[in-house]
Structure 1
Amino acid sequence: MTIPTEQFALFLMLLLRGTSMFVAAPMFGNLSIPGPVKIGLGVFLAFVLFPIVSVGAPLTDRSLGELFLIALREVLTGLSIGLAMQVLFSGIRFAGDMISFDMGFSMSTIFDAENGTQFPVISELLYWFLLMIFLSVNGHHFMLEAVYMSYGAVPIGTFSIGDAAMESVISLTATMFVIAVKIAAPLLVSLFLANISLGILNKVMPQMNIFAVMFPLKIGIGFIVLSATVPVIAFVFKKSLTAFEASVVELIKVM
């Protein structure tokens, strides 16, 4: 059985976009997941999309250089979708970094196999907790849906970065900071009030060793407030996820 060259070229382009998304996307891009598994996911996604995605101009009429540029654009499209989803979890890690710094845990780090580096303990705790929520609300389904939608907005070989796309990227980056502040706000406010109280106490009782009191007190307050606000953090994350998905869709439309 011979495979038509045009269909093979189309399948290859589908494979490049899907695999690139899996390489850059949260959870799927985990360094602990072997490369062949990511490629296998890309192959599976390409098989699913192959019957429903069409290509405009024939791919086989292109020169080798043109095919290389089309393949490069497909890789960039997939990476853009995956990295856009990573912005959400970068905001979560940023929130954890702010909380850890204020609690005095900035030097207390844990190795993260996903990124091959170290992050503060609170940052890792928030990341994995909210990743479970992300999966529970079918966020991974949205990532696959985003790849499918991208073929309507960005046909094969038409990827470009214009002014509208840059504005969407800036908007996504701003969303990252908004999510981080919303998640970290209860703890940051509580620890700020604790700092003010300790400052007043130091003025009233200058003979007290304030540093001996400050560190265990801030750690205790941090864990108490974090435990008490878990439902609030989950609620804020779900609400932010809806707005974030809309921003990703907008980015795909203007690419």
Structure 2
Amino acid sequence: MISMDILNYIPTFLLVFMRMTGLFVLSPVFGRRNVPAYLKIGMSFMMAMVLLNTIPLQSIDIVNNIWLYVWILFKEMLIGLAMGYITTLAFSAILIAGQIMDFQIGFGMVNAFDPVNEVAVPIVGNLINMMALLLFFGMNGHHVLISLLFDSYTVLPIGDFSIKPDILWYILEIFVQTFVWAIKLAIPLMAVLLLTEVMLGVLSRALPQMNVFVMGMPIRLMIGLIMLLLVLPVYINLMEPLFADMFDDISGFMQRMVR
């Protein structure tokens, strides 16, 4: 009798597991390359087991229509991937801001190698990204993210949601907001360095014999680094509403998926 009950819940468990896996694979917090694949699968399996025993879920009958079940599996994976992608966009805004600041300071041609993700990343962007990760864990953002994933089964029960055309527009709006946040993070440094360029231009007109191009590079570098140290506390204050917007975007995405 117990074995039959377990078998009846296997289809439901697989659906829960697919939504969990989608988040753990794509999230920048849990989906980093230095996290082994077996650990991501194990965490997804564990979270699916916990959720299956804490939240009342409807059992899914796959005997009548196996293709419908496969379609629901795909949609469940899509929910998890979308939540992970929205989280990724928030951290992408930080890296884009770092890329802009690197270019303004003079590090445009210099990148640091990230051994975790095996990609070249901007120096300033990598620094701010590490700060953002520490702040994210410090404000229990990973707990909020997992809580949103659990709450998604209340808003979007298994299989009881639809993929609407306006979802793509909503994702596009979040994508645009990524660049808006990047500009917000980079604009203090951009403004100061723009004033520096204006001052160097005025200086070159006043003293034509001075090689402003040669002198301007170390001046921009020095002012940029000093300004970066001054605005780091401001970035911490900006990242909190950035993460709050990220959580709101995830909630808004789920609301738009309601049938």
Letter of the 2:3 partner, please give it. Answer: T
Question: In 2, Cα distance between the equivalents of 1:88 and 1:63?
Answer: 39
Is the aligned partner of 1:251 residue 2:239? no
Is the aligned partner of 1:130 residue 2:141? no
SS at match of 1:28: coil
Alignment partner for residue 123 of structure 2, among 118, 121, 146?
A: 121
1:226-248: per-residue Cα shift (whole Å, max 9, x none)?
A: 10111111011112322332122
Question: In 1, Cα distance between the equivalents of 2:63 and 2:255?
Answer: 27
Q: Kindly tell me: are residues 3 and 196 of structure 1, through their superposed partners in 2, closer, same or farther at Cα, counting changes over 3 Å? A: farther
Cα RMSD after superposing both structures: 1.7
1:48, distance to aligned residue in structure 2 (A): 1.4
1:24-67: per-residue Cα shift (whole Å, max 9, x none)?
A: 00121101111000001101110111023344473334422222
Letter of the 1:77 partner, please give it. Answer: I
Letter of the 1:93 partner, please give it. Answer: L
Which residue of the partner structure matches residue 19 of structure 1? 21
Indicate conservation of the 8 Å contact 1:28/1:38, yes or no: yes
Question: In 1, Cα distance between the equivalents of 2:236 and 2:79?
Answer: 30
Q: Kindly tell me: are residues 217 and 243 of structure 1, through their superposed partners in 2, closer, same or farther at Cα, counting changes over 3 Å? A: same
Q: Kindly tell me: are residues 146 and 114 of structure 1, through their superposed partners in 2, closer, same or farther at Cα, counting changes over 3 Å? A: farther
Indicate conservation of the 8 Å contact 2:11/2:59, yes or no: no
Alignment partner for residue 45 of structure 1, among 40, 44, 47?
A: 47
1:172-219: per-residue Cα shift (whole Å, max 9, x none)?
A: 123212221221111111111111111111111121111211111111
Larger displacement relative to structure 2 (2-11 or 187-196) = 2-11
Which residue of the partner structure matches residue 231 of structure 2? 229
Question: In 1, Cα distance between the equivalents of 2:153 and 2:146?
Answer: 12
Question: In 2, Cα distance between the equivalents of 1:208 and 1:3?
Answer: 86
Which runs of 5 or more structure 2 residues have no equivalent in the other structure?
A: none
Letter of the 1:112 partner, please give it. Answer: D
Question: In 2, Cα distance between the equivalents of 1:116 and 1:138?
Answer: 27
Residue correspondences, number: 255
Indicate conservation of the 8 Å contact 1:102/1:188, yes or no: yes
Q: Kindly tell me: are residues 90 and 9 of structure 1, through their superposed partners in 2, closer, same or farther at Cα, counting changes over 3 Å? A: same
Q: Kindly tell me: are residues 62 and 109 of structure 1, through their superposed partners in 2, closer, same or farther at Cα, counting changes over 3 Å? A: farther
Which residue of the partner structure matches residue 62 of structure 2? 60
SS at match of 2:3: coil
Question: In 1, Cα distance between the equivalents of 2:49 and 2:182?
Answer: 37
Indicate conservation of the 8 Å contact 2:12/2:58, yes or no: no
Indicate conservation of the 8 Å contact 1:77/1:159, yes or no: no
Question: In 2, Cα distance between the equivalents of 1:92 and 1:62?
Answer: 48
Identity between Structure 1 and Structure 2 (%): 29
Question: In 2, Cα distance between the equivalents of 1:35 and 1:167?
Answer: 32
TM-score w.r.t. length of structure 1: 0.93
1:71, distance to aligned residue in structure 2 (A): 1.1
Question: In 1, Cα distance between the equivalents of 2:31 and 2:204?
Answer: 49
Instruction: Output aligned runs, 1:1-255, within 5 Å.
Output: 2-4=3-5, 5-56=7-58, 58-255=60-257
SS at match of 1:194: helix
Which runs of 5 or more structure 1 residues have no equivalent in the other structure?
A: none
Question: In 2, Cα distance between the equivalents of 1:183 and 1:172?
Answer: 16
SS at match of 2:53: coil
